[in-house]
Amino acid sequence: MGNKGYIHVYTGDGKGKTTAAFGLAVRALCAGKSVYVGQFVKSMAYHETKIAEMFDKLRIEQLGRGCFIREEPEQTDIRMAREGLDKCAALMAGGDYDVVILDELTIALHYGLLTVREVLEALDRRHPSAEIVITGRYAPQELIDRADLVTEMREIKHYYRQGVRSRDGIDK
C-alpha cells in the first residue's frame, strides 16, 4: 500500500454516481485491493449489496435508516450518520482498506446530519494510500475544493420522466 491515495467526488443530478463507485470497487477488487462501502442514508439492501458475497475483500454496511428523505431527519438519523462517519473515519485512517466508498455522504451533509467540517477532518486523518470515493447530489464547494477528482453526473434525459419506474437490476 505504498501509493498515494486520492479523493474522488461523484455528484450531480444525473443517474450513475453509486454505479460509478461500484464500478471502481469491482476494478479495485479484481486488482486484489480491499474495499469498504459505507452507505449513508440508505437502509434498503439494493442489488449492488449482493456483490459482497462474491468478493472476500469487500465489506458493505448501511449506516442509515433512509426513511426521512421527504421529511425532516430525526435525532436517530443524525446519531446514525455521526456513528457511521466515526466508523468510516477510523477505517480511512487505519489503512486496512485500499478503497473506502462513502456512498450518499453528500446527502447526509445536505440534510444536516453531518457538517462539512466533520467530513473534512475525517478526510484529513485518512491513511495516505487510502483511495476515497464520495457520492451523492449537492456536494458542497468545500468538499469539491478538497477532492482530487470531481465528476458531475448531469441529467440530460431520463426515462423516469416518461413514467418508467426503477427497474430491478438496472436502477436498483
Q: Phi and psi for 71 in degrees, rounded to 5?
A: -130, -175
Residue 1 lies in a domain: no
What is the distance between the terminal CA atoms of the chain, rounded to a whole angstrom? 33
Quote the crossing angle between the two packed helices 75-94 and 116-124, to the nearest 10°: 20
What nine digits make up the cell of 64?
442509515
Residue 133 lies in a domain: no
Residue 169 lies in a domain: no
Report the alpha-carbon distance of residue 115 to residue 134 in Å, rounded.
15
Residue 83 lies in a domain: yes
CATH at residue 61 = 3.40.50.300
pLDDT in tens, 129-170: 999 999 999 999 999 999 999 999 999 998 878 888 888 777
pLDDT in tens, 65-87: 876 666 788 899 899 999 999 99
What nine digits make up the cell of 135?
457520492
Residue 143 lies in a domain: yes
Report the alpha-carbon distance of residue 24 to residue 99 in Å, rounded.
9
pLDDT of res. 168: 79
pLDDT of res. 161: 81
- The count of structural domains within the chain is 1
Q: To which residue does cell 446530519 refer?
A: 113
pLDDT of res. 68: 60
Give me the domain span that covers residue 96.
7-122+139-162
Residue 144 lies in a domain: yes
pLDDT of res. 120: 98
pLDDT of res. 44: 65
Residue 132 lies in a domain: no
Residue 129 lies in a domain: no
How far does Cα 116 stand from its chain's mean position?
Answer: 15
Report the alpha-carbon distance of residue 137 to residue 106 in Å, rounded.
6
Pairing of strands 58-62, 99-103: unpaired
